[in-house]
């Protein structure tokens, strides 16, 4: 287990995302039940729990990706820097630029590496000059440790890369849009153990600049890579706290039973 940043237990960190009485229904099915959570800024927060407990649903609430699912109804509030993103006036394009998402499997486009990275800039109309676009692409690839490997291969199809490189490319594609928050939904499930550790190390670097929330079924990954952990069960947030506390001295018996492998 990694050592948390010095003084983390005693620091009152600013809240980046906060939910109040968050309920979400798929039709009549309650996928989230009265979830109240505070996610601190510039940290890695892991959400763990058994399959179907609402982890990914909660994550997708933070950039309103659940809006794309038919017959979805949401109640409560989700504040990002104090603004309720569930308000009807919310600009979803701007929200999804500010709150970027990386999915379970690398979703690179069947395009060159360069055009994969340029895609978001074009959609959001952020940069126009070739020099500015190239500078943004270089910066994004440097952040994820790919610039030296790919700077002379930007014309290659992105799908020719290894799965780890593809996932790093997806993270770079998010970073280029200058988000405040990065959401990762099981980002290492398709990767081998060595690639997984490299992605975790990348997250520890990125947390210096970004607020990161990661859903993972891998409790060892949550223990290694996160500063805070929330445990969910049947749509409810059972417990939330410092990762070290959650894994060594959980307050709830249900949390302890899950972490000790009694169910899951």
When pLDDT is averaged across residues 93-98 and rounded to a whole number, the result is 93
Task: Name the nearest CA neighbour of 86 among 18, 136, 149.
Answer: 18
Q: For the chain, what percent of residues have pLDDT higher than 70?
A: 95
pLDDT at position 1: 32
The answer, yes or no, to whether residue 9 has pLDDT greater than 60, is no
pLDDT at position 120: 85
The rounded mean pLDDT for the chain is 92
Q: What is the 3-state secondary structure (H, E, C) of 159-177?
A: HHCCHHHHHHHHHHHHHCC
pLDDT at position 12: 66
The answer, yes or no, to whether residue 181 has pLDDT greater than 60, is yes
Cβ atoms of residues 49 and 65 within 8 Å = no
Q: Give residue-wise pLDDT tens across range 120-173.
A: 888 877 777 899 999 999 999 999 999 999 999 999 999 999 999 999 999 999
pLDDT at position 6: 38
When pLDDT is averaged across residues 88-97 and rounded to a whole number, the result is 94
Q: Which two tokens stand for residue 127?
A: 């940069």
When pLDDT is averaged across residues 203-221 and rounded to a whole number, the result is 94
* Better-scored residue on pLDDT, 108 or 190: 108
When pLDDT is averaged across residues 20-40 and rounded to a whole number, the result is 97
Q: 8-259 belongs to which homologous superfamily?
A: P-loop containing nucleotide triphosphate hydrolases (3.40.50.300)
Domain chopping of the chain, boundaries: 8-259
**Pairing mode of beta strands 99-102, 38-40:** unpaired
The answer, yes or no, to whether residue 33 has pLDDT greater than 60, is yes
**Which alpha helices (H) appear in the chain, and where do they start and end?**
55-61, 92-98, 113-123, 130-143, 147-150, 163-175, 193-206, 219-225, 243-248, 253-259
pLDDT at position 5: 44
The answer, yes or no, to whether residue 203 has pLDDT greater than 80, is yes
Whole-model pTM: value is 0.91
- For the ranges 18-27, 50-59, 127-136, which has the lowest average pLDDT? 127-136
pLDDT at position 127: 74
Q: Give residue-wise pLDDT tens across range 222-253.
A: 999 999 999 999 999 999 999 999 999 999 99
């Amino acid at each position: 287990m990694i050592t948390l940043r010095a003084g983390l237990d005693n620091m009152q960190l600013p809240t980046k995302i906060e939910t109040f009485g968050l309920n979400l229904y798929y039709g009549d099915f309650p996928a989230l039940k009265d979830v109240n959570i505070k996610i601190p800024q510039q940290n890695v927060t892991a959400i763990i729990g058994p399959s179907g407990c609402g982890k990914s649903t909660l994550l997708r609430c933070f950039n309103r990706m659940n809006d794309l699912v038919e017959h979805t109804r949401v109640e409560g509030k989700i504040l990002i820097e104090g603004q309720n993103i569930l308000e009807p006036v919310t600009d979803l394009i701007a929200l999804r630029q500010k709150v970027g998402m990386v999915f379970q499997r690398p979703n690179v486009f069947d395009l060159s590496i360069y055009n994969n990275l340029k895609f978001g800039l074009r959609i959001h109309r952020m940069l126009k000059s070739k020099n500015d676009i190239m500078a943004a692409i270089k910066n994004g690839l440097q952040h994820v440790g790919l610039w030296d490997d790919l700077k002379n291969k930007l014309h290659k199809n992105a799908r020719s890369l290894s799965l780890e490189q593809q996932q790093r490319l997806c993270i770079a594609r998010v970073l280029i849009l200058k988000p405040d928050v990065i959401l990762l939904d099981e980002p290492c499930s398709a990767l081998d153990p060595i690639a997984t550790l490299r992605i975790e190390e990348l997250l520890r670097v990125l947390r210096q600049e970004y607020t990161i929330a990661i859903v993972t079924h891998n409790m060892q990954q949550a223990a290694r890579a996160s500063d805070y952990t929330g445990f969910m069960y049947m749509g409810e947030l059972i417990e939330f706290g410092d990762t070290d506390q959650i894994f060594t001295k959980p307050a709830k018996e249900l949390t302890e039973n899950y972490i000790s492998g009694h169910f899951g």
